[in-house]
Amino acid sequence: MMRSLFSGVAGLKTHQTRMDVIGNNISNVNTTAYKASSMVFSELISQTIQRASGPNAATGTGGINARQIGLGVQTGAINVNITTQGAAQSTGNPFDIMLSGSSLFIVSNGSENFFTRDGSFYVDAAGNLAMTSNGYNVMGWGVDKETQKIKQDTVTALRIMSEANMTYPPEATSRAYVSGIIDKHNADVTSEAGKAINLNFFDALGYSYTAKLVIKQSADDSSYSVELSKILDSEGNEVDISGVDMAELFGANTSQAINTSVKLDDSAYTWDGKVLKTSSEPSETVCDLAVAFGADAEAAKTAQDNLAKAYGYEGSTEKFFNLTVSTEGTTYTVRQLFENQNSGTEPNFGTLTAEQMDGDVTNFSLEAFDTTGRNFAGVNLVYDGDNGKFVGVNGVPTMKNASLRLSALGGNFSDIDIDFSTSSNYNNNGTCTVNATAGDLDGLGMGREPGQMSGISIQQNGMIYAAYDNGMTRLLGQIAVAEFANMSGLERVGENLYSATMNSGEFDGIGVDVTANGGKMTTGQLEMSNVDLSQEFTEMITTQRGFQANSRIITVSDTLLEELTNLKR
């Protein structure tokens, strides 16, 4: 038999194998992250007719090369072009991830790890991140419960939507700060009612409350008191704090030598000594002192409320009657003076004069009088009179904070440490911009209500974060990747998967961060196949010509054999 006949057969088989490789590439041209293969040829074997001989110096003859006849071709290698990046295909699906670089995703069927470039993932019914094609779990690293940081140990399935991750727990507000400008000419600050600011906060169960704080000018233009007025729940209902000492809740009882001018609205009211009437005609009695301090409690309350209103203390009747007046070393409350006015007992508004008052007092009559001090339960803010900067709480330079001790109320309330250092005492054309904000200047301790998961995002480094409707985020895990010394040594196992071999290097069970070698993950995109159709069609042409040529070898060899058999004719 002719050796060329078998060489042709070997050539046909090898070119057929190459055509199989090309056909597989073309059939997977739209397969996600498919990596094209290429085949190289190598000669099969050579038959030696005569071995080589060296030169003979004695006879003067030269050496002779070996005489060999090749016996065909074989498949030298089938290489996978695994390191060439495929083009990006946008999908808009946040769980579709494209890898950049030479790494591979790690997936598991529960008993064995595989590797893939196919980043088409979804979240299954158990909350696991898995491949859409076969349901294999995507592997990565979990979060350390104590540090809340990624713990890079043995890879595990990423269960990102577990029951524990679906909600974010509430937290009580523990810090706050008051910032902005307090203008000494602001009408609210200088009024008896004061400038009101609201501090919104949460308790330990996530319920929302509002603490109403009142700022008033105190002993001088650079000193202001901050008092807790009331606490409201989220529905506007007032929290009962009547049984708690206000000094225990906020600050300490502080007495300040400040003169408060109290004036009757004489355009609307007139006194006859014991009866307060409207000045308009027909005149009506709004407060009879005999009724205001009489036996009928309900009628007395109405009369006292009307009296306080006439002096600008509407809604603050008790505060009005608790104002103090000092005369010749003795202090009287406004209530005592009005009671004496009713009974004719001294001292009263008819027997005292401004000259008898202690301190810088210029007014004393039923129509206008100055009080010589006021008591409040709160803190005193002191500012530098020269530059308007904050000095400290109660004038202590090192004391920037005051505690709103809500724990005294019991229940789920927590103390709130309030920082006043960012407030100032400047001219702002009579306008105050001061306000209270939960949390410190870095946003810590602001508290929160419970949150429901509202979305999931995957960062370029593979870290997975959950977003919640209370504004919080939580780190859920990180997608790990695998890298091998010889990526081309991986073995295809179908379904876009590879497995490690002895020539690729073993997987260590831990993986690496995708950014360690300059790679990244891009969400909303998938990697396309890296098959180059123009190259595949070109190789198809050369393969076809090679197959045809080898078939001609067989045809011609057969013709020669036929001539040989015809010699006997």
Which residue type, as a one-letter code, is found at position 330? T
Question: Which range has highest mean pLDDT (45-54, 155-164, 247-256, 263-272)?
Answer: 155-164
Residue 258 has pLDDT above 70, yes or no: no
Q: Which has the minimum average pLDDT: 127-131, 189-193, 430-434? A: 189-193
313 vs 301, residue with greater confidence: 301
Helix ranges restricted to H, 139-230:
187-190
Query: Where in the sequence is the domain holding 21, given as residue range(s)?
Result: 3-83+531-568
- Residue 346 and residue 418 in one domain: no
- Residue 420 and residue 346 in one domain: no
- 192: CATH: 2.60.98.20
Measured CA distances, 499 to 142, 321, 489 (Å): 24, 88, 9
Residue 273 has pLDDT above 60, yes or no: yes
Three-class SS state of 202: strand
Residue 188 has pLDDT above 90, yes or no: no
Tell me the angle at which helices 533-565 and 3-27 cross, rounded to the nearest 10 degrees. 160
Q: How big, in percent rounded to 5, are the helix, strand and coil portions of the chain?
A: 20, 35, 45
Question: pLDDT per residue over 435-470, tens digit each?
Answer: 999 999 998 999 999 999 999 999 999 999 999 999
Measured CA distances, 339 to 304, 325, 329, 364 (Å): 11, 14, 20, 16
Question: pLDDT per residue over 471-481, tens digit each?
Answer: 899 999 999 99
- Residue 267 and residue 356 in one domain: yes
- Residue 301 and residue 220 in one domain: no
- Spatial distance between the Cα atoms of 138 and 159, rounded to a whole number of angstroms: 9
User: Which among 343, 372, 401 is the end of a domain?
Assistant: 372
Question: Which range has highest mean pLDDT (105-109, 182-186, 248-252)?
Answer: 105-109
- Residue 9 and residue 27 in one domain: yes
Nearest to 337 by CA among 325, 319, 353: 325
Q: What is the DSSP string of 264-315?
A: --TTTEEESSSEEEESSSSP-EEEEHHHHTSS-HHHHHHHHHHHHHHTT-TT
pLDDT value of position 352? 80
- Residue 399 and residue 494 in one domain: no
Are 554 and 5 in contact by the 8 Å Cβ rule? The answer is yes
- Residue 219 and residue 305 in one domain: no
Q: Which has the minimum average pLDDT: 115-124, 238-247, 416-425, 544-553? A: 238-247
- Mean pLDDT computed over 489-518: 94
Residue 253 has pLDDT above 60, yes or no: no
- Spatial distance between the Cα atoms of 562 and 529, rounded to a whole number of angstroms: 50
pTM attached to this predicted model: 0.69
Q: 413 CB contacts (<8 Å, ≥6 apart)?
A: 172, 203, 204, 406, 407
Are 460 and 478 in contact by the 8 Å Cβ rule? The answer is no
- Mean pLDDT computed over 228-257: 80
Question: pLDDT per residue over 355-398, tens digit each?
Answer: 777 666 667 888 888 776 666 668 889 999 889 999 998 888 88
Measured CA distances, 246 to 77, 241, 243 (Å): 87, 8, 9
- Spatial distance between the Cα atoms of 140 and 521, rounded to a whole number of angstroms: 14
Measured CA distances, 85 to 104, 158, 268 (Å): 12, 26, 87
- Residue 522 and residue 544 in one domain: no
User: Which among 419, 449, 479 is the end of a domain?
Assistant: 449
- Report the DSSP beta bridge partners of residue 466: 456, 474
**Mean pLDDT, rounded, of the chain:** 90
Distance of CA 551 to the CA centre of its chain: 69
- Mean pLDDT computed over 231-248: 86
- Residue 266 and residue 345 in one domain: yes
Q: Which has the minimum average pLDDT: 239-253, 400-414, 500-514? A: 239-253
The domain tally of the chain equals 4
- Mean pLDDT computed over 406-412: 89
- Residue 313 and residue 223 in one domain: no
- Residue 238 and residue 337 in one domain: no
pLDDT value of position 205? 94
Length in residues, the chain:
569
**Tokens 């007092």 found at:** 361
pLDDT value of position 320? 86
Token code pair at residue 531: 């098959």
Residue 263 pLDDT grade (very low, low, confident, very high; cuts 50, 70, 90): confident
User: Which among 416, 449, 482 is the end of a domain?
Assistant: 449
Residue 351 has pLDDT above 90, yes or no: no
Question: pLDDT per residue over 508-543, tens digit each?
Answer: 999 999 999 899 999 999 999 999 999 999 999 999
- Residue 270 and residue 353 in one domain: yes
pLDDT value of position 325? 82
pLDDT value of position 359? 62
Residue 254 has pLDDT above 80, yes or no: no
